[in-house]
Amino acid sequence: MAGSLSAKKRQREAQRLAAHRDKAERKAERKAEKANRPAGAEGEDPDIAGIIPGPQPLPGEDEPGR
């Protein structure tokens, strides 16, 4: 039984290393995307960029034939 425990441990370690590599790849991709992203306007929050304040249309008003 001691052999199966060490085999399971090696398998878990291999899975852990694979997950670590995947995470590092995703992190590098995000960093590259962030570097290539165009700069927004000075002082503009990118989360709300392009949102027009004011009353919103009622549901159905933008549908033709109503």
Q: What one-character DSSP code corresponds to residue 26?
A: H
Looking up tokens 């709300």 gives 48
How far is Cα 18 from Cα 26, in angstroms, rounded to an integer?
12
Please give the pLDDT value at position 63: 60
Q: Residue 58 is encoded by which pair of tokens?
A: 């009622």
Q: What one-character DSSP code corresponds to residue 39?
A: P
List the chain pLDDT tens, one digit each, 66 residues: 567 789 999 999 999 999 999 999 999 999 999 888 777 667 778 788 778 888 888 887 666 554
